[in-house]
Structure 1
């Protein structure tokens, strides 16, 4: 009941009203309430406003009678019925169905293929038949435990749980559910993804030798290009001839296949130019064409595995991705490239992404600083302390020399 003064309506038992300002801002209106008992419980609730709901004392009394007889639901009963209907509607959206809607809406995403594999392989068997109202944190914990028991890496577990969160958020944004249960607070595993794979000069020599002996020289050129440019796998496979500006010496990386969806350019160094000009140009627009002219090369895993084994590279080394790391590591440790320049060559969106190579750059700077110190030290006139040290060494040197002669 409103806190304003309540007034009973003469002739209508259990009907009351309070006067409140009209929503238009001019004048007052009566808001009617009814009071009655149902199954021994005292109920008091609003039934409507004089103007906004066209409510009168007679109508309010009629509503009171119907509710007392159980022919009309109380406000609380109506709200409960609405909640039940919403829950029933939401229950129609199982995780399997939400995934279908999510997949359709996100079909243009570059990651949708990986998402499909993660959902079908890991999420569907555990959560597929459940709706969001039925989902509990216990279900999420069981999914996580199942992945960890299967030996999945923290990164894989994180990818799967992130997809669960994305589907939940998608359902909320699209109105398939009114809310996400507050208990569904998904904790992500800690992932150390700052592994920097760096090949030694000897390993690079072995790799280049294995590439020279590879039967598929077109794909061998793709790997060489990865080493000399640091390009990502998707950029290499989707590279087209029109992306190559031999005159100005630049390579365009298409935004449609880029990690951050932004078209950028990188310099075409002499090694990259030599590799690209040596490649045969077919009717396909792609530099590394697939079976059909309108498609780029697809699965290259077998060739990469073959070359890696022949070069004797570590089992943990990831071809192409590891070559990108090696490209960056070698440049950083050279001391000839600034961290800003390295960021631009790697097309990193922020300096923080390039920081994993900063220690290599710092080591190179320390060595350069050491060289400078030695150069200046070589022309510095000896101080009195230096002279005293030399004089102290001379008697000892003479004694040793005399002993050697006597022997």
Structure 2
């Protein structure tokens, strides 16, 4: 096994001729223990060869690359010892720095190769983001019966993971990744840096908006925090120190000049289910999903109350919504026209839902196409279905209703500042809703009479 000593340079190492068989070694005269292992195949590998604990020890540093510039250095902030065992491509400058770090470690009786193996083994055992989310979901979200569980699962797939092919939403539309989002399912937790996170959030903001980007940040931060709390990850949270984006609150509602056109367009609608859905959305202020999924058993006609159960309430608490005369007019008519159960003397409705439909959910799907047609007929732009809910609150505010009453009217989760009003009953809320409904109907020149109530059970 031949060997020769000289001061390593790029040109000198490039000129070394591989042996016809076996290997040969070149020894650097400037750095202790640094040598070049030259194989017959032409592969040239930097190594450290010296005694450790009284025995010869050989540690592979990386391959010599004749194409790397002499000015190229190890990446700033990189621990040289982290490169051991990674088959890094090195020039002479980089090899000498790495050799100095290895020598310093060995002088302290620490075997850097053994440490590198341990680090690699830990990295191989380290959780991926998918594994971390699954653990977070099962041991925290489901264990604490978080009502947002399915939404959180969908958010992870849409924003941070993979949306399985063929997966569809409740009403049939196929799910897909949102613009500007990532698939980090297979990434190890330690590979996700703060810089990666900031870049991802900026792209998500550009692609889907500030509100969605903030949701992604909250989910990713929560996953990392739990893994750290549960001692399943020893690194830092890449979301630490990252602020949420400012969200611009939407203030759109039906204005005074739009209401006559809006009600006139509603009167021309032939689709009764859609027409009633719009009116109930406007007159109850309930969220779209709660109106679509409204059940007869949750309506008390004589008390004029609609109850939104906990399991479908967005804020996690059951909501009690007073029913105005206008809302009851729609509901009483629908109950009278709803198909009844056969041979039932009580004439119970065949479906539990107010907007019954032959669908996977049992009730009507969001009527987006009909909504667009309604707006076009009314000559109204930039109005969303959710803005009907905001319209009730806005007209109540313009009528002088207090903010705590409006918050209760719309089922907002009370903040600490308004918690003193938690004892409010539905009486003043009902008055406020009646006033707001009457104001909208008056502006829209609508005359409605409450039909007879159904018999009490």
- Report the equivalent of 1:211: 266
Q: CA deviation at 1:196?
A: 1.6
Question: CA contact under 8 A between 1:222 and 1:236: conserved in structure 2?
Answer: yes
Are the structure 2 counterparts of residues 239 and 148 from structure 1 closer, same or farther at C-alpha, using a change threshold of 3 Å?
A: closer
2:365 & 2:229 partners in 1: Cα distance? 35
**SS at 2:189's partner residue?**
coil
TM-score by length of 1: 0.59
Question: CA contact under 8 A between 1:225 and 1:272: conserved in structure 2?
Answer: yes
Are the structure 2 counterparts of residues 225 and 111 from structure 1 closer, same or farther at C-alpha, using a change threshold of 3 Å?
A: same
Q: CA deviation at 1:163?
A: 2.6
Q: Which runs of 5+ in 1 are unaligned?
A: 1-36, 41-72, 355-407
Quick one: which of 373, 386, 398 aligns to 1:306?
373
Q: CA deviation at 1:276?
A: 0.7
Quick one: which of 196, 199, 202 aligns to 1:142?
199
Q: CA deviation at 1:190?
A: 2.6
- Report the equivalent of 2:159: 118
- Report the equivalent of 1:349: 413
- Aligned CA-pair RMSD: 3.4
Are the structure 2 counterparts of residues 351 and 168 from structure 1 closer, same or farther at C-alpha, using a change threshold of 3 Å?
A: closer
Q: CA deviation at 1:262?
A: 0.9
Question: CA contact under 8 A between 1:237 and 1:296: conserved in structure 2?
Answer: yes
2:404 & 2:288 partners in 1: Cα distance? 23
Instruction: Output one character per residue of 1:169-222: Cα deviation in whole Å (capped at 9) or x when no partner.
Output: 3444555x3334155425234323432222112312222222222232112211
Are the structure 2 counterparts of residues 261 and 184 from structure 1 closer, same or farther at C-alpha, using a change threshold of 3 Å?
A: closer
Q: CA deviation at 1:236?
A: 1.0
Q: Which runs of 5+ in 2 are unaligned?
A: 1-51, 56-108, 163-176, 340-349, 419-457
> Which runs of structure 1 show a deviation greater than 3 angstroms over 4 or more consecutive aligned residues?
37-40, 73-87, 96-108, 112-116, 122-126, 169-175, 351-354
Matched, 1:169 2:233: no
Question: CA contact under 8 A between 2:306 and 2:320: conserved in structure 1?
Answer: yes
Matches within 5 A, 1:185-264: 185=240, 187-264=242-319
**SS at 1:256's partner residue?**
helix
Quick one: which of 95, 98, 104 aligns to 2:129?
95
Question: CA contact under 8 A between 2:319 and 2:411: conserved in structure 1?
Answer: yes
TM-score by length of 2: 0.54
2:241 & 2:338 partners in 1: Cα distance? 50
Instruction: Output one character per residue of 1:3-49: Cα deviation in whole Å (capped at 9) or x when no partner.
Output: xxxxxxxxxxxxxxxxxxxxxxxxxxxxxxxxxx9469xxxxxxxxx
Aligned length: 280
Matched, 1:131 2:150: no
Q: Which has the higher helix share?
A: 1
2:192 & 2:411 partners in 1: Cα distance? 40
Are the structure 2 counterparts of residues 291 and 185 from structure 1 closer, same or farther at C-alpha, using a change threshold of 3 Å?
A: same
Instruction: Output one character per residue of 1:316-354: Cα deviation in whole Å (capped at 9) or x when no partner.
Output: x222x111111011011112x333322221112225899
Instruction: Output one character per residue of 1:135-156: Cα deviation in whole Å (capped at 9) or x when no partner.
Output: 1112112212433454x32222
Matches within 5 A, 1:307-386: 307-315=374-382, 317-319=383-385, 321-335=386-400, 337-350=401-414
Question: CA contact under 8 A between 2:181 and 2:203: conserved in structure 1?
Answer: no
Q: CA deviation at 1:244?
A: 0.5
Question: CA contact under 8 A between 1:241 and 1:286: conserved in structure 2?
Answer: yes
Matched, 1:160 2:216: yes
